[in-house]
């Protein structure tokens, strides 16, 4: 059975329908695999998963036109609320929090019969790029356990890469789905802002946060997006759209213009990453696409603006976690001021405190104009640069991250260097655009690289089309 764990959603769905194995058997094998843990999970829902798998088998036995996700085990990042299941955001502040409701994306997957295996590790409140800021554990990269799995959705990526889930959900604020997907050799989608409901997602930066999807293949990613996308009356920012993300088998890229973003390819990417992305560009060209050089003048400013805006919103969102209304409460305090101070000091980790302080400073009297409003102006310039670039091309191509997965411990030594690693993913994040990370090569150590495709708003179907054309033909080349 274990040799079957790394199958795609479609392959598992076909096997379940043919009764090659049951959902209970499949779920039990994943649960057994999780015991060889690399730190991917914070909470494992063994009893619930097996009970849900039994119901899925009953549905598969009775129904004919049933969802391809029925009976498929998945994992969810631990900042997505789950009714009756501990949801910590990898913080001591919420270490014992048990939500009374499900996030919309969780309830939608349940409605398709998908099986939740558990909640995955992450950087505390999604603030980090290596899953090392988690207050509860460290997640290791399944490919090389001396290296990080990425962040902040590192547990979600590691779970799929280590055959501990068929697919997983994460959250992406500035690259937190795409970068760990790249580090673990997986496909990661950050959708258009408002494409997927954020209801039940513990907020980091509300104007930037998005629920994302990590899978083995592009087709799997499209299947999951089809199940969870769509308007949600519980999230007033969710778009009233009902697009199809079906992927055709025979896709032509003739006439498609792919823009190579000079600032992001030549402005910091390692030589290995640069070579891998340029090789991928030539592969697209061989499939009929036209390559166009594109400039995003504001790309370098985007990173600075992102950290000001996201930290400002974080300082506001996390103000509710004070030990009185929400969050762990400090013991043996004499007055309210001491209670608030000690609860937040003891409950938050150093990275979260750093960003709260930065955000509070940016919003403070005398500095609002200098920092926050200036960052918002840069955000508008970034959006304008993207709009201008899409007049000359259909899709943009960049690295996902400037390097492959780095060694554990690096983030704790120099956080500013880690911040700079978000240079490729942040521009599309602050513009609210969809972006898809796809594996595009490996270094001499066997560590994977990812390339990022960026499209205009609500053009996820186009990203899947281009990504699948590459994935299918590149896989055929490897076989041949």
The pair of three-digit structure tokens given for residue 7, joined into one six-digit string? 């199958």
Token pair, residue 294, equals 């594109």
Q: What are residue 267's phi and psi, to 5 degrees?
A: -105, 35
Catalytic residue among 77, 226, 315, 404: 77
Contact 316, 359 (CB under 8 A): yes
Tokens (6 digits) for 248: 């055709």
Question: Is the backbone peptide bond immediately before 472 cis, with ω within 30 degrees of 0?
Answer: no
Nearest residue to 434 via CA among 450, 452, 455: 455
Tell me if residue 238 is catalytic.
no
Phi, psi of 128 (to 5 degrees): 155, 170
Q: Is 145 an annotated catalytic residue?
A: no
Q: Are 317 and 203 in contact (CB under 8 A)?
A: yes
Q: Which residues are within 8 A (CB) of 371 and not within 5 positions of it... i.e. 6 or more apart?
A: 308, 361, 362
Q: Check 107, 171, 176, 226 and give the catalytic one.
A: 176
Structure tokens at 337: 């001021």
Give the C-alpha separation, 351 to 339, whole Å: 21
b vs e for 453-473, b when ≥16 Cβ sit within 10 Å of the residue's Cβ?
Answer: bbbbbbbbbbbbbbbbbbbbb
Neighbours of 3 (CB within 10 A): 7
Q: How far apart are CA 312 and CA 371, in angstroms?
A: 10
Q: Which two tokens stand for residue 362?
A: 């940016």
Are 116 and 105 a contacting pair, CB within 8 Å?
no
Asked about 67 being catalytic, the answer comes back as no
Nearest alpha-carbon partner for 131 in 39, 3, 19: 39
Compute, in degrees rounded to 10, the torsion defined by CA atoms 276, 277, 283, 289: -170
Q: What gap in Å lies between CA 277 and CA 290, rounded to an integer?
A: 15
Tell me if 144 sits within 8 A of 113, measured CB to CB: no
Structural tokens at position 193: 């802002």
The catalytically annotated residue of 22, 67, 130, 152 is 152
Distance CA 347, CA 95 (A): 9
Separation between Cα atoms, residue 6 and residue 20, nearest integer Å: 15
Active site residues: 77, 152, 176
């Amino acid at each position: 059975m274990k040799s079957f764990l790394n199958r795609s959603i479609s392959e598992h769905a076909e096997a379940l329908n043919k009764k090659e194995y049951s959902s209970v058997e499949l779920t039990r094998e994943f649960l057994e695999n999780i015991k060889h843990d690399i730190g991917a999970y914070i909470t494992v829902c063994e009893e619930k998963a097996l009970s849900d798998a039994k119901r899925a088998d009953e549905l598969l036995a009775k129904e004919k036109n049933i969802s391809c996700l029925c009976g498929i085990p998945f994992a969810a990042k631990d900042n997505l609320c789950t009714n009756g299941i501990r949801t910590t955001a990898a913080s001591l502040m919420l270490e014992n929090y048990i939500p009374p409701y499900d996030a919309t994306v969780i309830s939608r997957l349940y409605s398709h019969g998908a099986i939740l295996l558990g909640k995955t590790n992450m950087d505390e409140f999604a603030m980090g790029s290596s899953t090392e800021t988690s207050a509860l554990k460290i997640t290791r990269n399944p490919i090389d356990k001396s290296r990080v799995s990425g962040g902040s959705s590192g547990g979600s990526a590691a779970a799929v890469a280590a055959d501990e889930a068929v697919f997983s959900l994460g959250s992406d604020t500035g690259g937190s789905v795409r970068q760990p997907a790249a580090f673990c050799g997986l496909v990661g989608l950050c959708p258009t802002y408002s494409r997927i409901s954020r209801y039940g997602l513990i907020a980091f930066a509300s104007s930037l946060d998005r629920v994302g999807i990590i899978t083995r293949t592009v087709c799997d990613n499209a299947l999951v997006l089809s199940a969870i996308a769509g308007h949600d009356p519980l999230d007033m920012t969710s778009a009233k759209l009902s697009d199809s993300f079906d992927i055709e088998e025979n896709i032509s890229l003739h006439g498609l213009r792919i823009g190579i973003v000079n600032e992001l390819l030549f402005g910091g990417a390692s030589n290995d990453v640069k070579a891998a992305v340029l090789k991928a560009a030539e592969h697209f060209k061989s499939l009929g696409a036209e390559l166009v050089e594109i400039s995003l003048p504001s790309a370098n400013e985007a990173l600075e603006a992102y950290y000001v805006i996201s930290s400002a919103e974080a300082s506001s969102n996390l103000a509710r976690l004070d030990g009185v209304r929400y969050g762990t409460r400090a013991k043996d305090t004499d007055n309210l001021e001491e209670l608030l101070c000690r609860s937040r000091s003891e409950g938050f980790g150093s990275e979260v405190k750093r960003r709260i302080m930065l955000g509070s400073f940016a919003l403070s009297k005398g500095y609002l104009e200098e920092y926050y409003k200036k960052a918002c102006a840069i955000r508008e310039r970034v959006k304008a640069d993207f709009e201008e670039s899409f007049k000359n091309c259909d899709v943009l191509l960049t690295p996902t991250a400037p390097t492959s997965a780095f060694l554990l411990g690096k983030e704790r030594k120099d956080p500013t260097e880690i911040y700079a690693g978000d240079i490729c993913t942040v521009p599309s994040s602050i513009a609210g655009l969809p972006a898809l990370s796809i594996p595009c090569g490996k270094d001499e150590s066997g560590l994977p690289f990812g390339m990022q495709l960026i499209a205009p708003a609500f053009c996820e179907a186009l990203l899947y089309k281009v990504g699948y054309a590459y994935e299918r033909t590149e896989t055929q080349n490897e076989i041949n």
